[in-house]
Structure 1
Amino acid sequence: MSTAGAHTQHPEHTPGASVRRTREKGEPRFPDGPKADPAGSHFERRIRSFQPRRSRVTAGQEEALQRLWPRWGFDVDGRQRLDLAEFFGNDRPVVLEIGFGMGEATARMAAADPGTNILAVDVHTPGQGHLLGLADQHGLDNVRVGNGDAIILLREMLTPDALGGLRVYFPDPWPKKRHHKRRLIQPAFLDLAAARLAPGATVHCATDWEPYAQQMLEVLTAHPGFENTVADGGFTPRPQFRPLTRFEGQGLDKGHVVNDLIFRRVPHADQPADRAGGDHGADRPEDRDAAGT
């Protein structure tokens, strides 16, 4: 992919300031950056598990989007299959992270584990710009940033067994009962995730909403494609490799209880158990922590 030239910052823009530009009617917000609705009307509408957030983009975030998106970003449009080895430039295991917020935790995990590639997907434009900026600042060439619906990414753009791991940290809990159908961790989602995760790959979820944590535990335990890495079949203590985020810290200060779950993709029916792990995700932090080493 070609790299766009650096965006020229207007003199009145200061670091951290909100960007306010007058655009012509129909002009895209970021000509070389993430699109507002990349999948458009190409796929059937479904109940979405996320709520797009429309917050202001700072000058620094805009600069990162304009300069780095053509190199490290992609739109989840569902129109092509991703060759992950080509996309990252190597054949290291790839972990999909769904919903990364502002990207601080993602960047820290990428820096701590350079042998793992992170495919980070969100719909929050300021967070996309911030994560790109962090990756550039710290020289993290193992991060790629996706814009759009992770369901379309999994269903249309990834091949079977493509992933060495899946991370879903603090998804929207949709606390009202009538909205529970919008929660991401549901049996149908796990069916799709299981088809894209290599045997031995891990699913790691974390939430500070206890009723949702219990639902996650129930549906993961019931799914035949996964097994709990905790011997007693419950939650796992927060592993050291998952950074304590600002959001999580605020929740803990308010007395919220944070629960982590780490489940492993079981071998396919036609694959011997001793060959299930293969080379996918070998010696990942998730595996070391789950094994208690």
Structure 2
Amino acid sequence: MNSLLYIAVVLIWGTTWIAIKMQHGMVAAEVSIFWRFACASFLLMAGLFFSKRLKAIGHKGHLLCFLQGITVFGLNFFCFYHAVTWISSGLESVIFSMAMIFNAVNGWLYFRQPITKNIMVAAPLGLIGVLLLFWQDLKLIEQNSSVFYGIGLSVLGTYCFSIGNMISAKHQKEGRDVMSTNAWGMLYGTLVMGLLALSLGYDFSPELSFQYLSSLLYLSVFGSVIGFGAYFILVGRIGASHAAYATLLFPLVALTVSTFFEGYIWHWNAIAGLCLILLGNAAMFFKPEQIRNRKGIALKA
């Protein structure tokens, strides 16, 4: 089950970058985020209500969902939608990979979860791999100092995402249903982004083109309802730091999509980065006790 959830997160979030890019420049970022989570929260709420799976979460649960809505479904996307003005989506992916480190540190700070040997081995392998993967983007920093605005926003967005992970982990530790808390979190995030867009005087009319509407549908259903549902269930099952390792893998999916639709060229550094990321992924889930058990069974046989 964990493997299926992990693969689903990697494949879904690995393809949302191209969908976000399809929306860039058509409508104000705040309005696009508003419509994305308005659709997602409506679909999720309706589905849970009619299937009688919408669970009560209590006053404390609603407060945490409000904070989750601000961090994950609000500020996180606000930062990344605006950061693309100054940096490429590839470089955004590099920075978002820091979620694994933020989750490991925040997990220790808030829940006293130990930083395991697997994480200490996998984290540097994965991060070095991602840096190699996007080395061509990183070299452009020297040519344009304004990219630091994009970098700052991306770091802030990633940290907000990590805080949202901690909130989801707390929900699950206290017995709240993941999909119900996601639905309320998305709704609160929608309201916050709507108020922000309203205060800035933006037009709420979406772009009535196939490109915009199809990307909005994909981001709402797959990227939000299914993607976040699978990811936060994974956080509860294997821990936030392990689940966040998916953030190192989905850029590989994004690059594969880019190869076919944008003509991305795989240089030597990208291939080397891919190998390191896969090696780090193996290190993250390596369990020597299982190998010892298998050897013991083989010797007995």
TM-score, normalised to structure 1, is 0.23
When you count strand as a share of all residues, which structure comes out higher? 1
Larger helix share, 1 or 2: 2
Higher relative contact order (CA 8 A, sep 6+): 2
